[in-house]
Structure 1
Amino acid sequence: MYVYTGISEAQKIGKYGVDESARLMKRLAYIYRRLMMVGAAHMPARMNWHFKAGLARHLFEDSHAAGLFMKRASELRSPSVQQLKDPDPWLALFFDELLMARSDYELWTGIYGVVRPELRRLLRQYAQDTQPLVDYPTLRAIKQVLSDLDEQTAWGEAIRPALLEDAAFFSAHRETYSIITDDESTAAVFCDELRKLLAQVGGFEGRALKQAENVPDRKRSQQKYNMPLRAVRDPRMGGDTLGRTGVANPPTEPELARIIANVRTRQEELGAAELCAATMVLQNNMPWSFYEDLARHCWDETRHTLFGQAVLDLGGYDWYSMPQFKGDYDPHMMKPVANSYIWLSIGIEGSAMRKDGMPKEARMLKAAAEKTDNEVVKLFAQCVDFDWADEVTHHQFGRKWAEELMDDYRTSERIANREMELNFARMARDTCSFWEDKPDSFNKQMFLNDWKDRLRPELLKELDERTLLP
């Protein structure tokens, strides 16, 4: 069909007028903002490595959906100033309760068992009921969001058995591990409470009769959600570290060994992603574009982690059993979160802008990839090429938000440089401590040579005098 540009049912009477459509767009924008923030709040707190990565990707996609619906609401004669307000205190309560999930599987139940299926139902119903010609811009936005929702729910179903396996393992080893777990039985209570609350809200459409005697009570959200001061890792991994430890089975050829050490550093960027997530949650009252930028930054750092993981997995290098680096999160959660984000975006990311930074590494890897058939080297060279593009964007984020976070860019730069000095000293101490009692090898000498010059006594003394992590 070619009439009406191929839009079918162009003459039907739709269910929605502008006012009702705008009301739903504002609710959807709010739902996606809250869903994004729930993902950010839980990313450092959740244990399963793959679940963390999925939360990071989906919170970025949720930020995109929120932006689409905010924009559409403003086009439907809805003042933009109202879009950041809670459209419904009951709906706010629903997400307050979802935020209080206590385990990986409880959070999975809330997000992938309740919220995303309900969103998919609502969006499909809206697309079916609206007038497809007059409301085409809304349908265009919904089409993009539904595409993400289909992938998100499919991924959720795929990871569910892994989360249940984790729960079964830790339940069987409670005497060894102090991990809070939930299975289908114990998580059912939380799921039922969310479904009941959603029914009282009237679904995400919000069309329930709201009589005073039916106002729901807070259950878990009587207490405030607290971001973890230490990022959580699966205790079956190789423990935690603030230093650099490489892989368990490094190559013996020096040039490849150095490349693999750099790959491992990429795989260790999850803490940077978790720091971005924490900044989203803790840095309140910023413009919406700040949270959009941070959601992108969070997912990018997670992608970089997955770059490293993909390359190491391709080469058969064991990263999982080694101590897991958390130096980009744990030490920085004791400071104002604005300081920590400035350190990351202006200090660490900014250092990659210098002539001896990532462009040099990218050029070296490109040259190495051109003279070898090793797919590990070729893939990593491509990863770093795109990593470099991301770092430019992240540094721009830091410069963009420095004035609001720290009054001016020069103050931000001074703070970032000082925090970098301290952070490198801390990393050097833990790196050298890890390697000093290991058998002699090229890798040991490489790591020690790379880090020993950063063992500055005055900085280490300052670190020791600071408040210890709890």
Structure 2
Amino acid sequence: MERVRNNNLGLIPLAGICSYEQACNVGYGIDRSVSLLKRYVYVETQLTNIFAAHLAHVPEWEVKCAFGLHMWLDAEHSAMLRKRITEMREPPHDLDKTPDTAIELFFQELIRSQTTLELMVGIYGVAKKELIRSLNKYLVETNPLVDHPTCRVLKIILVEEEEMQLWGEQAIQALKITEEDRIAAQQWQEHLQCCLQAAGGFSGDLEKSANWTPTTPRAEDGKPYDMEVEPRRDARFADKYNSAGKIDEYYLEETRPSDERTYALIYKRLKEMTVPEWMGPIIYKTKGKPWDYYVDMSRQLWDEARHSMLGEVGLYQDGVEFYKYPIDFRTSLTLNTKFEPLEAHIILWYFEQRQMPKKTGKRLEWEIAKTSDNELAITFQDYDWADEVLHTQIGRKWLVPEVGGLEELKQKAEELLPRIVEERAKLDERSDQKQWWPDFLTEMRAGRDRTR
């Protein structure tokens, strides 16, 4: 029904946000909006925590990579929603308070997923699917003009959530290898769906189904979830304790050919997966920080996972499988099992800080790549350098206040270094330390010759 025909001079009215009729929809009041947004904050926050808790322990490389990205995106989404709530006449407190004990139970069950397939089903087949439904419902029911700032935030979030969910659904199908996998996934999905239904969904609007009876909750013992900190790699990766390839020495030695030094840098990028594996436990176990801490740390974790994927692509470019040669995880295993989260973060910062000097750090790595004809490696090093500058800033931002000053931070790191050297050396005994670098170098060069 057209109530009046305005003369809009042929221009689209209301800034193109919506029609006059849509703007006449009463929509949500502030209290209802804030109540829903707080529930969405809780969801995004819990998903961030779940990614942090499981990234190291899932063995599949591709899942680790996706978890790194999705963790950062969900941390960003939580931050966007938190900011919007503080604009809506609501004091910015209680943003980390559980909005519904039934939703809390759902996430307590989800985080206790026991296999990668269960985890994927819970995150992408249930949680993100329901979040997308809830956000779409909000956008349909609210007044798009009066509540435009909220709608803008939710639309941005929706785009990324739908991309994540699509990746997850495809991954779930790939992981359903046997009939037993399919049955287990279905049973776990139904259990989680029942828990979620009991909460009325993330918006609290769903009716509880009489057809579903939940199995015994895994969280019924009341004990806090205890994450598995030991990193794992899938069966494609062999000799995970092999440190025979002295990558740092190879690219620093000026007597080596420029292509070999550049290949060493590419492999160094590949090996960076150990950093997300040790950052996950730091983030999950560090409680009570401002949300900006988790956003910053999630961004750094994602950057490090992305750097590892740059190495993966660097090997792909010259026809070598990224999992064919050893990618040791001694550092993440050591830091996750032998160090407290704060200690592990201090060591992380120290390692990053050591990459800043011009003569030995990231600038040198970029200059080494430039001496080769590997244009892709040059670009990779350019962005890696920029990212690492950000990472040292993140470390200083959160660690200096924690330990009392920059000098105190350096001193604490240097006190910790002998321990990590000693503990990593013990892990060398788990490998025969077969030298593999010459074979890798020969295969990379042959591949480059074929693709020229």
State the TM-score, normalized to the length of structure 1: 0.81
**CA contact under 8 A between 2:276 and 2:301: conserved in structure 1?**
yes
AA partner of residue 201 (structure 1): A
Q: Is the 8 A contact 1:257 1:443 kept in 2?
A: no
Cα distance 1:229–1:391, how it changes in 2: closer, same or farther (>3 A)? same
- Kept in 1, the 8 Å contact 2:244–2:433? The answer is no
* Partner AA of 1:205 in structure 2: S
Amino acid at match of 1:33: T
CA 1:366–1:418 in structure 2 vs 1: closer, same or farther (change >3 Å)?
A: farther
Q: Which of 321, 326, 342 is 1:323 aligned to?
A: 326
Q: CA deviation at 1:14?
A: 3.2
Give 1:335's aligned amino acid: F
Please say if 1:343 is aligned against 2:347. Answer: yes
Alignment of 1:39-58 (within 5 A): 39-58=51-70
Contact 1:273 1:301 in 2 (8 A): yes
Q: What's the counterpart of residue 456 of structure 1?
A: none
Q: By how many angstroms is 1:319 displaced?
A: 3.3
Alpha-carbon distance in structure 1 between the residues aligned to 2:291 and 2:382: 30
Q: 1:266: Cα distance to partner?
A: 0.8
Measure how far apart 1:342 and its partner are: 1.0
- In 2: Cα distance, 1:440 partner to 1:108 partner: 36
Counterpart Cα distance in 1 of 2:423 and 2:439 = 23
Give the count of matched residue pairs.
Answer: 415
What is the Cα deviation at residue 327 of structure 1? 2.7
**Does residue 2 of structure 1 match 2:12?**
yes
1:389 maps to which of 380, 386, 389:
386
Gap runs ≥5 in structure 2: 1-10, 251-255, 442-452
Aligned partners of 1:267 and 1:306 also within 8 Å: yes
The answer as to whether partners of 1:267 and 1:305 remain within 8 angstroms in 2 is yes
RCO comparison, higher one (Cα < 8 Å, 6+):
2
1:73 is displaced (CA, Å) by 1.1
Give the equivalent residue in structure 2 for 1:241: 241
Of 195, 198, 201, which residue of structure 1 is paired with 2:196? 198
Inter-partner Cα distance in structure 1 for 2:168 and 2:309: 18
Does 2:397 align with 1:412? no
C-alpha separation between the residues in 2 aligned to 1:202 and 1:442? 58
How far has the Cα of 1:9 moved from its partner? 2.9
Q: Which residue of 1 aligns with 2:80?
A: 68
Tell me the secondary structure at the aligned position of residue 330 of structure 2: coil
Q: How does 1:388-467 map to 2 (within 5 A)?
A: 388-420=385-417, 422-423=419-420, 438=435
Q: Which one-letter code corresponds to 1:133 in the other structure?
A: L
Is contact 1:243-1:428 (8 Å) kept? Answer: no
Aligned mates of 2:117, 2:439 — CA distance in 1: 43
The DSSP-based 3-state class of the residue aligned with 1:183 is helix
Q: Does 1:288 align with 2:300?
A: no
Question: Take 2:57 and 2:108, find their aligned partners in 1: how far apart are those partners?
Answer: 16
1:358 to 356, 362, 374: 362
> 1:455 is matched with which residue?
none
Gap change, CA 1:432 and 1:262, over 3 Å in 2: farther
The code of the aligned residue for 2:144 comes to: P
* AA at the equivalent of 1:342: I
Is 1:124 matched with 2:121? no
Q: Could you tell me how far 1:110 is from its partner in structure 2?
A: 0.5
Match of 2:119 in 1: 107
Q: What residue in structure 1 maps to residue 170 of structure 2?
A: 158
> Does the CA contact (< 8 Å) of 2:57 and 2:231 recur in 1?
yes
The aligned residue for residue 96 of structure 2 is: 84
Q: Does 1:265 align with 2:268?
A: yes
User: Which one-letter code corresponds to 1:305 in the other structure?
Assistant: S
Mapped pair 1:300 → 2:303:
yes
The superposition leaves residues 231-270 of structure 1 with CA deviations (integer Å, 9 ceiling, x where unpaired) of 01103321312625389xx9xx833222212211111111
State the one-letter code of the partner of 1:96: Q
Could you tell me which runs of 5 or more consecutive residues in structure 1 were left unpaired when the two chains were aligned. 172-181, 445-470
Q: What TM-score results when the alignment is normalised by the length of structure 2?
A: 0.84
Q: Residue type matched to 2:13 in 1?
A: V
Report sequence identity in percent. Answer: 29
The one-character-per-residue Cα deviations of 1:323-351 (angstroms, maximum 9, x if unpaired) are 33113311112111101111112x11001
> What is the Cα deviation at residue 27 of structure 1?
0.8
In structure 1, give the amino acid aligned to 2:204: G
Shift of 1:2: 1.7
The aligned residue for residue 146 of structure 2 is 134
> Which segment drifts farther, 420-429 or 333-342?
420-429
